[in-house]
Structure 1
Amino acid sequence: MARRGRTAARQAVKMCAAALAAFGAAAWPARADWRDDIGTFRIGIVAEPGGGNTIPGLARLTEAYANALGMKVEFVVARDYAALIEAQASGRVQYAVYSALAYATASERCGCVEPLVAPVDADGAVGIRSVLVTRDGRLPDLAAMASHRIAIAPADNVGGALLPLAALSAEGIRIARDSPFLARAASATAAETMLAGGEADALFGWEPAAADGQPSHSDGTVARLEAAGIAEASLRVLWTSSLLRYGPHAVRSDLDPEAKRRLTVFLSNLKSQTPDVYDLLERAHSGGFTPALPKDYAMALAIVRLTGGKE
């Protein structure tokens, strides 16, 4: 009898515990999944010139992101980077595809964005550096610039004008855009022609570079000058800037960590697993995506601060 009493008591305790658990589940609302909080995940992208408000392969891209996140996805096509920055800063889009300077501008605008990944070239270059190139020793060193003629690209050219002036300023060498020794060319190609034809003693140009800073010689100012017939031995790079990384895919900093993880994995594997989708998403750089950090855009921030946020 005593044994049966103890068994009945244990069963009663278990029933009470189950009832309390059920009551607690009913009394407290279930914690919403981050997907429920967002509803529709919106991705902002700038329209290509002449593309209107559509982008090639939109259905395929939407499907790929929806599968990666496990939720509804919608692309928002912005007319320009200013509109895209405003959309992400206000929370209308959670994710944006930026140029380096547009990302830096967004970071300055709200401090609410962070990069996930950035593209890489097939040869491993992750960005560009500015270079100061002279021919036949016409410019002996950086300190002698003021007494020589230095060709420079138009004021809005990133690699040939914005980057060198911002990078030199960061090193304590401040050069005004209208300095008399700077010979402003009509284009980057025109600046190269000035050096080749003897109208300038040196030239601010650019070169692709890997994450470790090593240059890629497949493209850039020196490669273009050599292709134009100038002997490699007559060219000398006197100075190189810090790296300006290619523009990132960035999310709002308050996005759930699981969403960030899923997106990073998806994008990092995109080139190898679904190259057709990668080609739709990234047309300029064919080497895939690699993770990016805010510190990778220090040089972009320096340019934005030097120019007051104007690309």
Structure 2
Amino acid sequence: MARRGKTAARQAVKVCAAALAAFGAASWPARADWRDDIGTFRIGIVAERGGGNTIPGLARLTDAYANALGMKVEFVVARDYAALIEAQASGRVQYAAYSALAYATASERCGCVEPLVAPVDADGAVGIRSVLVTRDGRLPDLAAMASHRIAIAPAENVGGALLPLAALSAEGVKIAQDSPFLARAASATAAETMLAGGEVDALFGWEPADAEGRPARSKGTVARLAAAGIPGASLRVLWTSGLLRYGPHAVRSDLDPEAKRRLTVFLTNLRSQTPEVYDLLEGAHSGGFAPAVRKDYAMALAIVRRETAGKE
């Protein structure tokens, strides 16, 4: 009898404790959800040239992001990347789709952004790297550049000018934009024509590469030269830069981790699950999105820092 009495008493204590816990939980103020803190999740995107403030498939995109996050979403169309960077740095947008150099500029501007994902090509390429290409051994090696003529694309060309000069500078090879051995071409195509016609001994071009640095030479400068009739066996790549990753979709670093997780899952599965929405969001690279991190944009930061230093 005494044992049964003790058992009943213990059960009564447990019931009372559970009731008190339930009462206490019900009386505590509800914990604020990150969605409540944000209110409306704003996504910044640069307007297409000549497109005004319109975004093709805006309603479909808005619904897709809203479903992924479980909250209200609004797209904000910026006139250019400078405006988009300012909007994210100031907190007016939580998420932005950038070029590689725009992301690096935003990172330098406030240190408050981080990449989530970046697009991939159908062949697996995740970015480009610069190459120094010679024909028929006219340029023996990198050290001999100063005594030869090297074609280089216009100053604002990323793969054929900005990337090689920044990458070589990071390797300790200092080359100025106006170095006398550089032959400034009117375009990347013109630089290729100069090499084909024997006006220069080499040129700075570009090639796509995958995350491991393996080249996808079905595209890029060497492929273009071969298509123009130059025998592939006569072409030699003397030097390659580090990888410049394709531009990312980036969020503010102070965004709740759950929001980052939801967005990453949504974006990396988008091409396989809803390809028509992926095509609305990413028209240049058809291989889907892959996760990206800050270190993937080391070359982009090197370009931005070199250009900034040159203007000071």
With normalisation by structure 2, the TM-score equals 0.93
1:29 shift after superposition: 1.9
1:18 shift after superposition: 6.6
1:200 and 1:273 map into 2 onto residues whose CA distance is 49
In structure 2, do the counterparts of structure 1 residues 122 and 4 end up closer, same or farther at CA, with 3 Å as the change threshold? closer
In structure 2, do the counterparts of structure 1 residues 274 and 310 end up closer, same or farther at CA, with 3 Å as the change threshold? farther
Deviating 4+ runs (over 3 angstroms) = 1-28, 307-311
1:11 shift after superposition: 9.1
Residue 235 of structure 1 pairs with residue 235 of structure 2: yes
1:262 shift after superposition: 0.7
2:2 and 2:200 map into 1 onto residues whose CA distance is 107
2:193 and 2:122 map into 1 onto residues whose CA distance is 28
1:54 shift after superposition: 1.2
Report sequence identity in percent.
90
CA displacement 1:33-70 (0-9 Å, x = unmatched): 11111111110000000111111000000011111111
In structure 2, do the counterparts of structure 1 residues 100 and 7 end up closer, same or farther at CA, with 3 Å as the change threshold? same
Query: Counterpart in 1 of 2:182?
Result: 182
Indicate if the aligned counterparts of 1:104 and 1:300 stay in contact, CA closer than 8 A.
yes
Indicate if the aligned counterparts of 1:42 and 1:94 stay in contact, CA closer than 8 A.
yes
Secondary structure of 1:309's partner? helix
Indicate if the aligned counterparts of 1:271 and 1:288 stay in contact, CA closer than 8 A.
yes
In structure 2, do the counterparts of structure 1 residues 14 and 295 end up closer, same or farther at CA, with 3 Å as the change threshold? same
1:308 shift after superposition: 4.5
1:283 and 1:309 map into 2 onto residues whose CA distance is 33
1:32 and 1:70 map into 2 onto residues whose CA distance is 15
1:8 shift after superposition: 10
2:232 and 2:133 map into 1 onto residues whose CA distance is 11
Indicate if the aligned counterparts of 1:105 and 1:309 stay in contact, CA closer than 8 A.
no
1:28 shift after superposition: 3.7
Backbone CA RMSD of aligned residues:
2.3
1:246 and 1:15 map into 2 onto residues whose CA distance is 60
In structure 2, do the counterparts of structure 1 residues 6 and 211 end up closer, same or farther at CA, with 3 Å as the change threshold? closer
Query: Counterpart in 2 of 1:100?
Result: 100
Secondary structure of 1:308's partner? helix
In structure 2, do the counterparts of structure 1 residues 271 and 309 end up closer, same or farther at CA, with 3 Å as the change threshold? farther
2:159 and 2:15 map into 1 onto residues whose CA distance is 73
1:308 and 1:256 map into 2 onto residues whose CA distance is 34
Aligned 1:19-38 pairs, distance under 5 A: 21=21, 24-25=24-25, 28-38=28-38
Indicate if the aligned counterparts of 1:125 and 1:209 stay in contact, CA closer than 8 A.
yes
1:30 shift after superposition: 1.3
Q: Which runs of 5 or more residues in structure 1 are unaligned?
A: none
Secondary structure of 2:124's partner? coil
Secondary structure of 1:167's partner? helix
Number of matched residues?
A: 311
1:160 and 1:181 map into 2 onto residues whose CA distance is 15
Query: Counterpart in 1 of 2:277?
Result: 277
CA displacement 1:183-236 (0-9 Å, x = unmatched): 111111111111111111100000000111010012100100011110001111
Query: Counterpart in 2 of 1:151?
Result: 151
1:27 shift after superposition: 5.7
In structure 2, do the counterparts of structure 1 residues 230 and 36 end up closer, same or farther at CA, with 3 Å as the change threshold? same
1:88 and 1:80 map into 2 onto residues whose CA distance is 13
1:136 shift after superposition: 0.8
Query: Counterpart in 1 of 2:131?
Result: 131
2:266 and 2:47 map into 1 onto residues whose CA distance is 23
1:309 and 1:106 map into 2 onto residues whose CA distance is 18
CA displacement 1:269-311 (0-9 Å, x = unmatched): 1111100000000000000000001100000000000044989
1:24 shift after superposition: 4.0
1:139 shift after superposition: 0.6
1:84 and 1:100 map into 2 onto residues whose CA distance is 13
Aligned 1:152-231 pairs, distance under 5 A: 152-231=152-231
Query: Counterpart in 1 of 2:293?
Result: 293
2:122 and 2:8 map into 1 onto residues whose CA distance is 73
Secondary structure of 2:156's partner? coil
Secondary structure of 2:151's partner? strand
Query: Counterpart in 1 of 2:309?
Result: 308
1:94 and 1:175 map into 2 onto residues whose CA distance is 38
In structure 2, do the counterparts of structure 1 residues 20 and 159 end up closer, same or farther at CA, with 3 Å as the change threshold? same
Indicate if the aligned counterparts of 1:162 and 1:303 stay in contact, CA closer than 8 A.
yes
CA displacement 1:128-155 (0-9 Å, x = unmatched): 0000000111111000000111000000
Query: Once structures 1 and 2 are overlaid, which stretch shifts more, 63-72 or 17-26?
Result: 17-26
In structure 2, do the counterparts of structure 1 residues 149 and 7 end up closer, same or farther at CA, with 3 Å as the change threshold? closer
1:14 shift after superposition: 6.9
1:161 and 1:291 map into 2 onto residues whose CA distance is 28
In structure 2, do the counterparts of structure 1 residues 229 and 263 end up closer, same or farther at CA, with 3 Å as the change threshold? same
